[in-house]
Amino acid sequence: MDDDADSAQNAKGRHRVVALLGAPQAPFELACAAEAFGTDRAGLPRHYDFTLCTHTPGPLPTTLGVPLLVDAGLEALERADTVIVPGWQPPGCAVAPAVLDALRAAHARGARIVSICTGAFVLAQAGLLDGRSATTHWARTAQLAAQHPALSVDRDVLYVDHGDVATSAGSGAGIDLCLHLLRRDHGAAYAAQVARHMVLPPHREGSQLQYAAAPAPARAEESLAPLLEWAEERLGERLTLEVLAARAGLSGRTLARRFAEQLGTSPGQWLLARRIDAARALLERTDLPVEAVATRVGLASAVNLRRRFRTALGTTPGAYRRTFGAPRGPSPFQE
What digits encode the pLDDT tens for the residues 193-215?
888 888 776 555 544 444 434 44
Instruction: Indicate whether 307 pLDDT > 70.
Output: yes
CA distance 103 to 20: 9
| Tens-place pLDDT, residues 125-168 | 999 999 999 999 989 999 999 999 999 999 888 999 999 999 99
pLDDT value at position 219? Answer: 54
pLDDT (average), residues 310-322: 88
3 Cβ contact list (under 8 Å, min separation 6):
none
pLDDT (average), residues 244-249: 94
| Tens-place pLDDT, residues 232-243 | 999 999 999 999
Name the amino acid, one letter, at 307.
Answer: R
Long-range contacts (CB closer than 8 Å, 24 or more residues apart) made by 256-264: 258/218, 258/222, 258/224, 259/224, 260/213, 261/212, 261/213, 261/214, 261/218, 262/212, 262/218, 262/223, 262/224, 263/208, 263/209, 263/224, 264/156, 264/207, 264/208, 264/209, 264/212, 264/213
Instruction: Indicate whether 10 pLDDT > 70.
Output: no
Dihedral sign, Cα of residue 254, residue 256, residue 259, residue 261: negative
Instruction: Indicate whether 85 pLDDT > 50.
Output: yes
pLDDT value at position 74? Answer: 98
228 Cβ contact list (under 8 Å, min separation 6):
270
277 versus 125: which is more confidently predicted? 125
CA distance 191 to 186: 7
Instruction: Indicate whether 331 pLDDT > 70.
Output: no
- φ/ψ (deg, to 5) at 116: -115, 130
Q: How far is CA 82 from the centre of its chain?
A: 13
The model carries a pTM of 0.71
35 versus 334: which is more confidently predicted? 35
Instruction: Indicate whether 288 pLDDT > 80.
Output: yes
Domains with residue ranges and CATH for the chain: 3-197 (3.40.50.880), 216-335 (1.10.10.60)
Instruction: Indicate whether 6 pLDDT > 50.
Output: no
Please state, for a pLDDT cut of 90, what percent of the chain lies above it: 68
